[in-house]
Amino acid sequence: MVMSKYVKITEANEIPENEMQLFKVGGCEVLIVNVKGEFYALENRCPHMGYPLYLGSLTGKVLTCGFHYASFDVTSGKSLGPISESPLKTYKVKIENSSVLVELPTSTIYEDNK
């Protein structure tokens, strides 16, 4: 069983609607996406070839990798095209007192401290 905990990433008002921002937490790069006030957290690596997704584009709920144009639904991580059949790795998000909290494996959170 993988242990995890919620970690504060940022404040909700720091990520405008329909935009995304990259955050480094321990040994993990987390891409936070704000779609019409709903927040989603994704691993910042395209499952197709591992390129950074923060360099891609966001149109509604669709995130498109800037390198080979693989596209994904940010609400589920599901692949939307033939370029990549693998889904994005997603993380649970909750908002508490305007803070964006993301559930991450504890091994990832403390990786920098080893």
> What would the pLDDT profile of 29-66 be if each residue is shown by its tens digit?
999 999 999 999 999 999 999 999 999 999 999 999 99
Q: How far apart are the first and last CA of the chain?
A: 21
Q: What separation in angstroms does the CA of 110 have from each of 29, 51, 107?
A: 13, 24, 6
Domain ranges of the chain: 15-92
Whole-number Å distance between alpha carbons of 75 and 41: 9
- How much of the chain exceeds pLDDT 70, in percent? 93
Task: Label each residue of 67-92 as H, E or C.
Answer: CCCCEEECCCCCECCCCCCCCCCEEC
pTM of the complete model: 0.90
Query: So what's the pLDDT on residue 13?
Result: 97
| In CATH, 15-92 is 3.30.1490.20 | no
> What would the pLDDT profile of 12-24 be if each residue is shown by its tens digit?
999 999 999 999 9
Query: So what's the pLDDT on residue 16?
Result: 97
Using pLDDT thresholds of 50, 70 and 90, give the confidence band for residue 26: confident
The three-point CA angle 48-73-91 to 5° equals 85
